[in-house]
């Protein structure tokens, strides 16, 4: 997990998970629509997953 991805996850969560697949982007986008904090947490969890 690079520093750029972490900063992107804090500023705009869906953009930070673009390399993880379409499903991840949609999930993080929906979480971000529910609130900024759930979107950031979801993006960080997805980025922290080693798969």
Q: Tokens for 27, please give them.
A: 């999930």
pLDDT of residue 47: 93
pLDDT of residue 41: 96
For residues 34 and 41, give the distance between their C-alpha atoms in angstroms, rounded to a whole number.
Answer: 12
Q: pLDDT (tens digit, 9 = 90+) per residue, 11-43?
A: 999 999 999 989 999 999 999 999 999 999 999
pLDDT greater than 90 at residue 2: no
Q: Tokens for 42, please give them.
A: 């979801």
pLDDT of residue 48: 94
């Amino acid at each position: 997990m690079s520093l750029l991805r972490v900063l992107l996850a804090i500023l705009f969560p869906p953009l930070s998970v673009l390399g993880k697949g379409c499903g991840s982007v949609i999930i993080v986008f929906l979480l971000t629509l529910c609130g900024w904090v759930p979107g950031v947490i979801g993006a960080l969890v997805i980025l922290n997953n080693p798969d």
